[in-house]
Structure 1
């Protein structure tokens, strides 16, 4: 299992971070989680190195400086090289989805604060570091969640200082009216098979890209995937259409080795299709259609279709999507304006109802009884 370390400007290992990152692995966290925590700690230490402050002398003032920096600094992962790219934060007129803003998202800032807080809490347990955690905590949240029955409604509480307000947004999926043109823009059986597998199984991007020939049960129309955060394989149903297109693709390229993923690259040496290559497939479709769909929108599309199917219960959809909480699956029951276009047009064009009086009644009597 890989492990990560933090290096300073001279390339030396930052020793006081090593036991914390190794502890994350021993606590049964995934390597990707450890890597993410290491990046957050790198941001924190870069700030301390810039300010010339030792890690065990940090206070809330340095945490405030970190938050101020992240709120104003551009995110290098969202740098746009094409000058004709849509403006950051604008809304795509076709999909109704906003483009990512140029800076760090509020959830990213909150995650960084959580990591720094956990890092100092870890060292405080071993009587190292400052006596007071430099990241403020919400005492109201601690009291509200201290003694609560699992089935009780989550109580409201104020967020801690420096924590950012994260807006609640509904998941975005590809409407049925735009699905046909999206699918028609795919240019090969590999891409069609991948998209159909995504949208019929609801698998996450990384899960599907690891599927091998032995993970496909053709007779039962199932694929076996390694769920995020686990090591065990779980069965996920897929549509007959997806398996038909996948069979045509494998018949053309040949069946890979038993331990190799079935989705392969089309150019260069034969190798498994990566997340970034599959992401580029969706980007090429967006370039043709003028949309801004993402790879994860395919999972949202599958979830939206299943959750609103009257023949499936919400509990069944939760099992298929492998959500830990039923409330997460319930988010896909919300109707969207984009899906109600036809109903809204009928509502807007419906003529106004005019009141009429049945023959045999005197209009003056109606005015006297019901008013003008």
Structure 2
């Protein structure tokens, strides 16, 4: 019954079953399909994906949303609950499970034998969730991150709002409600106009997201990462990422004709708008690109202005995809024991441009493809390394001050000129 309360569940021993699948079809009309445990398409998800594509969303959006929907559907399938019969208690238990439970560990089929043999040996490197000794960034933890949980809550609330508007199935309420003050007739009805508005959580079960400070790769560490790369292609990619500030997936959209050596620009397709934009690069990046192309063409990589610029290093030749580029960068990270990401290269490029006092921030905004200039405000906050360096310098100044105190002031004395004016003559 719709009015019944769910019994309290013991989620401590609950394990999310790996049933169902999110399949990428490669069809631009239907890029992703959410399949149930019997391999049949989940129609509510298919309709939702179609609406996302019609709303001019990125082709990557259905996959991103689909991963959250798959996790939710697996939760419902395990508890034998129909998607349109889910209530607020189900959403509460799901978000509580995501907050407290460990993430499912999926081992690649190539490493399953190694994983079984490594159970008796202690893991190397920092513990999950602890700061990396090289970069200071926390390693991937065993729990779902706050951003992952917030994204999932937003996707599921949007999913049910869409079907409520379309009167799909027997759905009556959204199991992922808004907070009470956002469900009122007017937002901020009782807000004091003399006080500033504070950011409010939109969803009742949406977690608070910690403020993220972008990190740059220091010059000496970047040199070490660059030296750990294995091919001219990887060196060219790294040089272009730092030179242009393009997102990792944006640079992979470039064609061979988009790299214009004479103008020192390279064209990319922007992630959000899908518009073509030329970005300035450095001569060093084009040198590495030329070395890579000469080597690749000798091996038989397809050549032509409309051919992709970046290819795999081994046959059969395929355009380089994001996952392969990410694994390439991770291998270079492992040499140093670091955990930088490809997006940190974009942050590094942004810091380099903003450090130039003659570079107007509005130009940096255009190069990065940001919609608002205020997006660059996050780079005005001091980084972890800058705060630590400033604190250590302060301690050093205090130490030097204690070890060498300033000289004692001279004893006060009369000013001869003042006495002469007072007594009307020179004072002997």
Q: Is the 8 Å Cα contact of residues 34 and 66 (structure 2) preserved in structure 1?
A: yes
Alignment of 1:1-372 (within 5 A): 1-3=28-30, 4-76=32-104, 81=115, 83-128=123-168, 129-141=170-182, 143-144=186-187, 155-158=198-201, 160-254=203-297, 256-339=303-386, 345-350=392-397, 351-352=400-401, 354-361=405-412
Deviation of 1:198 (Å): 0.2
Q: CA deviation at 1:310?
A: 0.9
1:201 shift after superposition: 0.2
Taking the aligned partners of 1:11 and 1:98, their CA distance within structure 2 comes to 38
Q: Are the counterparts in 2 of residues 314 and 330 from structure 1 also a CA contact under 8 Å? A: no
After superposition, the Cα gap between the structure-2 partners of 1:214 and 1:346, relative to the gap in structure 1 and judged at 3 Å, is: same
TM-score by length of 1: 0.87
**Residues 51 and 318 (structure 1), Cα distance of their counterparts in 2 relative to 1, 3 Å cut:** same
1:57-90 Cα distance to aligned partner (Å, 9 max, x none) = 2110010111122123333477695732432101
Please list every run of 5 or more consecutive structure 1 residues that lacks an aligned counterpart in the other structure.
147-152, 363-372
CA 1:158/1:209 → structure 2, altered by over 3 Å: closer, same or farther? closer
How many residue pairs align between the two structures?
357
Counterpart CA distance in 1 for 2:45 and 2:366 is 38
Unmatched tracts of structure 2, length 5 or more: 1-27, 109-114, 190-195, 414-428
Distance in 1, Cα, partners of 2:152 & 2:171: 19
C-alpha distance after superposition, 1:253-293 (max 9, x if no partner): 33733222222222333322222222222222222212111
Residue 149 of structure 1 corresponds to which residue in structure 2? Answer: none
- List per-residue Cα deviations over 1:209-260 (Å, max 9, x = no partner): 1211111122111111010023321111111211122122223333733222
CA distance in 2 between counterparts of 1:314 and 1:10 reads 53
Change (3 A) 1:214 1:166: same
Contact 1:307 1:333 in 2 (8 A): no
When structure 1 is superposed on structure 2, of 328-337 and 97-106 the one drifting more is 328-337
CA distance in 2, matches of 1:78, 1:345: 42
Distance in 2, Cα, partners of 1:76 & 1:263: 33
Which secondary structure state, in structure 2, belongs to the residue aligned with residue 31 of structure 1?
A: coil
CA contact (8 A) 2:154 2:206 kept: no
Whole-angstrom distance in 1 between the partners of 2:145 and 2:392: 35
1:273 is paired with a residue whose SS is coil
TM-score by length of 2: 0.76
Runs of 4+ residues deviating >6 angstroms: 77-80
> How large is the Cα RMSD of the aligned pairs?
2.6
